[in-house]
Amino acid sequence: MTSRTLRTLTVVTAAAFLCATATATATAAAYAVQGTGRPVPGVVAAWARAWNGSDPRALGAVFTADGVYTDEAVGVTFRGRKEIAGWKARADTLIDNVRVSVRDTRLEGDRVTVRAVYSGHLKGAPKPFAVPMTTLLGLDRGHCRIAFDQDHYSLAEVLIQSGLPADWTPPAPGAAAR
């Protein structure tokens, strides 16, 4: 078996496992919204775990190969798993303790509305932030992966809570935070 065949087999196996795990989690209601006891679709649980984890590739892995991620507050869009993983990596360089805490979900067909709290501490800011966020997730046919993500939260509120001026912009990649 060639190394390329082995890599392909590993990716296919991982994708099947993710889908089976997501389906089982959603069906068994094994993951509950913090403090509510209500079930969260498995793919939403995987999305939140990826945001709260330290491996940017985990976020890319919950998306379809041609998935699209849009952060409406910042006005950026990323296409494909690699770009989406890059967005998570960038967030991790700018925000300490970045976290998405799911509060409620609503599944309608192939779309999930997620109400959450987005929190962290912008590097160099005097204070941490914790703002409400609503995310719309479009799922693939099997509800195993995310086809698109649209995050909605107030960037102005993030900056106010962080103690930063309204015109603050993040440093360029590779530059030190100001």
pLDDT of residue 169: 85
Q: Under DSSP, is residue 61 helix (H, G, I), strand (E, B) or coil?
A: helix
pLDDT of residue 171: 77
CB 169 within 8 Å of CB 48: no
pLDDT of residue 25: 40
- List domains and CATH numbers for the chain: 3-162 (3.10.450.50)
pLDDT of residue 174: 61
Q: How far apart are CA 43 and CA 95, in angstroms?
A: 24
Q: How far apart are CA 163 and CA 102, in angstroms?
A: 25
Please name which of 113, 93, 136 lies closest in space to residue 33, comparing C-alpha atoms.
113
pLDDT in tens, 98-117: 999 999 999 888 999 999 99
Mean pLDDT of 66-73: 97
pTM of the model: 0.77
pLDDT of residue 143: 80
Query: What is the band of 16 on the pLDDT scale with cuts at 50, 70, 90?
Result: very low
pLDDT of residue 10: 44
The pairing of strands 63-71 and 146-152 is parallel
